[in-house]
Structure 1
Amino acid sequence: MKIHKWGLVLSFFLLCAALLPATAFASVKYSTYTKDSRGNLIWLQPAYFPLGVIGQNLMAPDPGNKSVQMSSPMKNPKDIFIDAKGEVYIADTGNNRIVHMTESGQLLRYITLPENPFNKPEGVFVTNDGSIYVADTGNKRVLKLDASGKVMQEYKRPESRYIPDTFVFDPAKVMVDEREFMYIAVHGSYEGLVMLDPKGKFQGFFGANGTAISPLDALKRMLYTKKMYANEVAKRPEPINSVATDKNGYIFTVTGGTATTNQLKKLNVKGDNLLRSSSKPFGETAPWDVPAEGVMTGPQLTDVAVDQSGNMIVVDQQNKYISHYDGSGNLLYFWGGASAIGSSQVGLLKSPVALDVNERNELFVLDDQENIVQVFRLSEFGQKVDQANQLTLAGRYEDSEQPWREVLRLNGQFAPAYLGLAKSAFKKEQYETAKDLFKEAGNQQGYSDSFWQIRMLWLQGNFSWIASVMLLGVILYTVANKLTAKREFRTRWRNRPKSQNRFLSNLRLALHVLKHPIDGFSAIHYENKGSYLSASIVLLGVYASLIISQFATSFSFNPKTFVDIYSTFTQFFIVWIAWIVANYLVSSIYRGEGRFKHIFIGSAYALLPYIAIGIPLAFISNVMTMSEASIYHFVGNAMTVWIGLLIFWKIQNVHNYTFGETIMNVFLTLCTMLVIGVLIFIIMGLTSDLGSLLYQMYQEVTLR
């Protein structure tokens, strides 16, 4: 009986152990995420597991006694490179040396150049033939060493009339292509990478970033004279932080600073950026991750590496995240996190500054605060994602289906898997399935292409009877129209008495405004037609149209899957009320004849095109594809122009303005709305501060 009890207890614990997550999950101190097409954060199981740490126990001969080994840790290292043999090279900046070790961390040698010492080297690159290039930052040079560490050539500031006199050559990183052309990232160089041929001759600047121009800067350019604009602080592009290459010869750069787009670029030899998604920001963060000082300047990407599958890996030194993108720039996942202050934890980072990948896709991350290298390997999940994504990028969509299903088995929320499965279904001509999967993945173009195929197949199968019904309908309408043209009931219908109900008359006036706006608005002003009730009904109809349009518009033209009716209500009515109040205030001062009632009613009636066009357009969009996007947007823009013209004619006729006075009224109304918004913002801020002050005073009184 006692044995039976212990058996039950043991079985219970085994069952609990089986239901618990894998122990590897518990041992990983960092989190891994991805984002869906709408930017929502999705938790994932780890894509990488830590293998260990190297470079933490370096030894060197004691200068006073060469036979004695003493601890010689790295000091503020800035770059890491893994050569074709898997050996590791580290630019040990603070110790003025290059550390050469095996991938397991066994020291092979220090490269120090006693006869011509390094001075704070920050970059290192090794070619396939063993040549070592070092960005010797403090000495303002790049050195080429042979495999034994002997200096072969020294490259200093190149001479060229294309280089400005103010250019300072402080090389930070160096990369060499198969032609032995050097691409050098220079501290503070907004001109781009310095490109040198094997002899050190300047070939030009390469891959420069664009200058970010704010709307205020654009306005200054329009309004300022050249002399005035010359006195402004010069706008410069952000310098490139690091450069790398892959086995196909593409050149990869990363940028930090204030850059918000194009921080990661994939360039061909002409300098063209090949990333289709480059207009979006690179370097991922979680919304709750803010630097300790409370200032978020955006991701600070300091290095980039490319794995054997062509995936790009970037490191964000500020937020301690490592982000992975496929060869087209699509996010796969990102992971990491800051190590606790005063302690070191495997997998967590204090100041990740550089990274590289070996032939087995193991990731080496250099930390210049911990002065170590952490090594990571792909998990089962990471390997499945990599395998499936490579098949998809190669166009082998059907072969990628099973790996993507394995990924979804491991994590059912992984958005890229739905995109891969959608491409597979489309390839197999399963267009209904593909359409649903593309929508799940948030891919509008794929959704539209799938619907185009569905629509084409349906039309091919049903065109004959559709054409027959349409032709029969036209014939019946023509015959019926001729036969009943002189019948009495049609005359009675045309001459039927109009309802004398005032409410219905006011609604008919709103419809009349659409056909004859000048007559309609004049009737509001001079005949006092229209009412608050009918105008309010129209406003509610417009609000309902806004909601219906968001719900009913095809995914091809509206990727939103969630509609916030309260936010829409607040935004619509706040803007409309601000317009009414501002226009009334301006018109009262600016010789306007219209009363508040006229402005209220006329402004409401002017929005009727949104009901007349917005709702039908939303439903019609469901039989359209992105190939007809020009038609969709033309109708939408025409509706907006129509509303704008009605508002213009409303102001002109209600206030009895000339054309020029109407334009001035519109301008002043918009300025008044801006002032009202600023005042409300200030008042809310002061009210909040006053409330905090009163609360603190209350606490002071009650606690004493």
Structure 2
Amino acid sequence: MKKATIKRILAGACAVAVAVLAPLSTSAAERSYSYIYDYWGDVQDAPNAYTCSKVFTSSELGLDVMLKSPQGLTVVGQKIYICDTGNNRIIEINRPTPQTLEVERIIDSFKGADNNTFVSPSDIQISDEGNIFIADTGNARILKLDKDLNYIMEFTKPNDKTLDPALVFQPTKLSIDSAERVYCVASGINKGLVKYEDDGTFAGFVGATPVTYDWTDYIWKKFATQEQRALMQNFVPTQYDNLYMDHEGFIYAVTGSGDSQDIKNGSVDVVRKLNLMGSDILVRNGEWPIIGDLYMGNGGGYEGASYFTDVTCFDNDIYVCLDKNRGRLFAYDDQGNMVIAFGGNGNMDGYFRRPVAIDHMDYDLFVLDELDCAITLFTPTEFGQQIYEAIDQFDKGFYEESEQSWRQVMALDGNYDLAYIGIGRALLRQKDYKGAMEYFELKYDDENYSKAYKQYRKQWVEDHIVQIVIVILAIFLIPLGIERYKKIKWEIEKAELDELKRNGG
């Protein structure tokens, strides 16, 4: 009886433990999908800023011919364009409701040219006038069509003497500005982005990446034989993988190429923000470099640095980079701080096998998977919406509202560094410099702390200027007064002594 009783007690205790711990385990599993890096470089689980709302496969889209190795995805208004590369066609999709996608038309040919079909189209962009630009990779051209699919013109291999005459022009990714100037990434061209004027004239290369090399290799190469030099690595710029033009006309360009160690130590910038001159103006004030994952081990069968294959940017200057190595998305703010990281490789919804393209509609994210031949829709959670609201309010000058929104973010995750920094920045703009200093100090934000301290010191001087003047005057006048008093007293005493002497005293 005693043994049976003990067994029942132990079984009951185990059942209670399972019931209590199971929700905790589930919660931890859910939170580990999203994370950030703290000041010390440690991974901190974070609430999900995005949730996988739906995955649209070929069947979901109602396609008779399944997608095959799609490479490009572009969002324009409420429309989504997919480059179905393996089937040599473009899919135009409408989004009538938040959870619905409908195919509007399939574009596999156009009018007005002899060669009026595509071969391995890999990217597409739509201008403000509605003209369609297609990277027709297999046909070695960039096509420009009107909205009714009439041929307008094409952009071909640049007429540049520095290019190898045998090089086959293969444009893979492109972007266009408001004047319909074309910027493209082409395989085998590492001189930067290829730029064309709106009339098709080649305008040069933009934003070539800096060449990195080791000085010992450089010196050794000077003394090496021709055969030895042929076996050594050449010092050449890194080729871009993709680009995105934001609402202000700046180009975000990403590359996954480069040695993992060079990427980790910051000698290779895998994300660049190019102005009209091709100069990199990306702000990198974050605690860690903008490289995706900081740790590059071989866990789960994947090794090396994050490989950024695409990027998109919201109107509030938060940009999201797509890592095709580990299937993750990394969002950064305009200062270079990591906002959130989420995703991974796998077969479940919200995970990927080989993500190749990303774009956004408002704050919703669409990710195209080449192997799954599917589009994954991510929508912001309450946590993500609060972050975006706080940033938007700050950008619009509503600093008190931004502070309150950041406090709501902090209530959802007390370890979220950006919430503390966001509150500090909002207080800084409200001229509560002492309060701002406290929040910056909590998250070791030295740069912003210095700004707040400088203003706090200035404000303190202005608020206490009268007292300061009084103290300064007192410091100088009191000794003078004492000295003057002593002198007068001495003169009086001397006069009295002289008087006594004259009177025979």
Q: Which amino acid letter does the alignment assign opposite residue 187 of structure 1?
A: S
The aligned amino acid for 1:400 is S
Distance 1:122 1:300 in 2: 19
1:446 corresponds to: 448
Does residue 356 in structure 1 map to residue 359 in structure 2? Answer: yes
Which residue identity does 1:83 align to in structure 2? V
1:478-509, CA deviations, whole angstroms, 9 ceiling, x for partnerless residues?
Answer: xxxxxxxxxxxxxxxxxxxxxxxxxxxxxxxx
1:88 CA drift (Å): 1.2
State the secondary structure of the residue aligned to 1:420.
Answer: helix
2:74 maps to which residue? 81
* Equivalent-residue separation in structure 1 for 2:380 and 2:297 (angstroms): 25
1:425/1:294 Cα in 2 relative to 1: closer, same or farther (>3 Å)? Answer: closer
Q: Deviations over 1:521-542 (max 9, x none)?
A: xxxxxxxxxxxxxxxxxxxxxx
In structure 2, C-alpha distance between the alignment counterparts of 1:303 and 1:89, rounded to whole Å:
16
1:124·1:132 contact (CA, 8 Å) conserved in 2? yes
1:51 aligns with 2:53: yes
CA gap of 1:191–1:166, structure 2 versus 1, over 3 A, is farther
Q: Which residue of 1 aligns with 2:293?
A: 285
Select the residue among 275, 288, 302 that pairs with 2:282. Answer: 275
Asked whether 1:110 is paired with 2:116, we answer: no
Q: What are structure 2's unaligned runs of at least 5 residues?
A: 1-15, 480-505
Counterpart-to-counterpart distance in 2, 1:102 and 1:452: 52
1:93 partner letter? T
| Residue deviations 1:412-435 (CA, integer Å, cap 9, x gap) | 111111111112222333333222
Do structure 1's residue 311 and structure 2's residue 318 form an aligned pair?
A: yes
* Deviation, structure 1 residue 228: 11
1:195 counterpart = 2:195: yes
1:387 maps to 389
**Aligned-residue offset at 1:227:** 8.6
Aligned residue for 2:101, secondary structure, equals coil
1:121 and 2:115 are equivalent in the alignment: no
Distance 1:428 1:112, change over 3 A: closer
Aligned-pair CA distance for 1:272: 2.2
Residue 281 of structure 1 and its aligned partner are, at CA, apart by 3.3
- Higher-Rg structure is 1
AA of the residue aligned to 1:290: N
**Contact persistence 1:55–1:105 (CA under 8 A):** no
State the Cα deviation string for residues 535-569 of structure 1 (Å, max 9, x = none).
xxxxxxxxxxxxxxxxxxxxxxxxxxxxxxxxxxx
Higher strand share: 2
C-alpha displacement of 1:87: 1.2
1:240–1:269 distance in 2 versus 1, CA, 3 Å = same
Q: Distance in 2 between matches of 1:273 and 1:464?
A: 52
Residue 184 of structure 2: aligned partner: 184
Question: Contact 1:250 / 1:268 at 8 angstroms: preserved in 2?
Answer: yes
Does 1:96 pair with 2:93? no
Residue pair 1:283, 1:299 contacting (<8 A) in 2 also? yes
SS at 1:386's partner residue? helix
1:412 equivalent in alignment to 2:414 = yes
1:145-173 CA-partner distances (Å, limit 9, x unpaired) = 22233332222112234655465421010
TM-score normalized by the length of structure 2: 0.78
1:46 and 1:370 mapped to 2: Cα distance? 23
Contact kept in structure 2, 1:291 and 1:319, CA below 8 Å: no
Residues 58 and 73 in structure 1, CA contact (< 8 A), matched pair in contact too = no
Q: CA shift at 1:288, angstroms? A: 7.7
- The answer as to whether partners of 1:398 and 1:424 remain within 8 angstroms in 2 is yes
CA distance in 2, matches of 1:303, 1:117: 26
Residues 169 and 471 (structure 1), Cα distance of their counterparts in 2 relative to 1, 3 Å cut: farther
Q: Classify the secondary structure of the residue corresponding to 1:172.
A: strand
Do structure 1's residue 207 and structure 2's residue 193 form an aligned pair? no
* Match in the other structure for 2:12: none
Separation in 2, partners of 1:308, 1:327: 11
CA distance in 2 between partners of 1:278 and 1:408 (Å): 22
Q: What is the Cα deviation at residue 116 of structure 1?
A: 3.1
Q: Report the equivalent of 1:173.
A: 173
- Kindly provide the amino acid, as one letter, of the partner of residue 208 in structure 2: A
Structure number with higher relative contact order (C-alpha < 8 Å, ≥ 6 residues apart): 2
Give the superposition deviation at 1:397.
3.1
Query: How many Å apart are 1:324 and its aligned residue?
Result: 0.8
| CA–CA distance in structure 1, aligned partners of residues 168 and 65 of structure 2 | 33
Unaligned stretches of 5+ residues in structure 1: 1-12, 61-69, 474-704
Q: Partners in 2 of 1:156 and 1:209 — Cα distance?
A: 23
Classify the secondary structure of the residue corresponding to 2:203: strand
* Distance change (3 Å), C-alpha of 1:44 and 1:241: same
Q: What are the within-5 Å matches in structure 2 for residues 104-503 of structure 1? A: 104-113=100-109, 116-161=116-161, 163=163, 165=165, 167-217=167-217, 220=220, 224=223, 232-258=232-258, 260=263, 261-277=268-284, 281-285=289-293, 287=295, 290=298, 293=301, 295-296=303-304, 298-339=305-346, 344-358=347-361, 360-456=362-458, 457=460
Cα 1:102/1:454, change in 2 over 3 Å: closer
Question: Compared with structure 1, are the counterparts of its residues 30 and 356 closer, same or farther at alpha carbon in structure 2 (3 Å cutoff)?
Answer: farther
C-alpha change, 1:308 and 1:56, in structure 2 (3 Å) is farther
Q: TM-score, length-normalised on structure 1? A: 0.57
Give the number of equivalent residue pairs.
440
> Structure 1 374/28 Cα, relative in aligned 2: closer, same or farther at 3 Å?
farther
Is the contact made by 2:421 and 2:445 (CA closer than 8 Å) also made in structure 1? Answer: yes
How far is 1:217 from its partner? 3.7
Q: Give the residue type in structure 2 aligned to 1:253.
A: A
RMSD: 3.5
CA distance in 2, matches of 1:365, 1:373: 6
In structure 2, what is the Cα distance between the partners aligned to 1:383 and 1:303?
23
Question: Cα offset for 1:39?
Answer: 2.3
Q: Per the alignment, do residues 319 and 176 of structure 1 end up closer, same or farther by CA in structure 2, a change over 3 Å counting?
A: same
Q: Deviations over 1:359-418 (max 9, x none)?
A: x32111000010000111111110110111223345543331111111111111111111
Q: Distance in 2 between matches of 1:38 and 1:471?
A: 53
Q: Deviations over 1:194-238 (max 9, x none)?
A: 0001221110101111112235346558x7599999765321121
Structure 2 match to 1:653: none
> For residue 89 of structure 1, what is the amino acid of its counterpart?
Y
1:58 offset after TM fit, Å? 7.0
Secondary structure at the aligned position of 1:257 is classed as coil
Q: Determine the C-alpha separation between the residues in 1 that align with 2:140 and 2:103.
A: 28
Contact 2:31–2:46 (8 Å) recurs in 1: no
Shift of 1:266: 1.7
2:61 and 2:102 in contact (8 A); partners too: no
Secondary structure at the aligned position of 2:375 is classed as strand
Q: State the 1:72 CA deviation.
A: 1.4
1:106 aligns to what SS in structure 2? Answer: strand
Distance 2:297 2:387 in 1: 26
Instruction: Give the Å deviation of 1:463.
Output: 7.6
**Cα distance in 1 between the residues matched to 2:450 and 2:358:** 40
Once residues 54 and 228 of structure 2 are traced to their aligned partners in structure 1, the CA distance between those partners, rounded to angstroms, is 55
CA distance in 2, matches of 1:309, 1:449: 23
Instruction: Kindly provide the amino acid, as one letter, of the partner of residue 154 in structure 1.
Output: E
Q: 1:33 to 1:292 in 2, by over 3 A?
A: closer
Cα distance, 1:196–1:391 mapped onto 2, change above 3 Å: same
Cα pair distance change 1:447/1:371, threshold 3 Å: same
Cα contact 2:31–2:47 (8 A) shared by 1: no
Deviation by residue 1:33-56 (Cα, 9 ceiling, x = unmatched): 122233222211111111212242
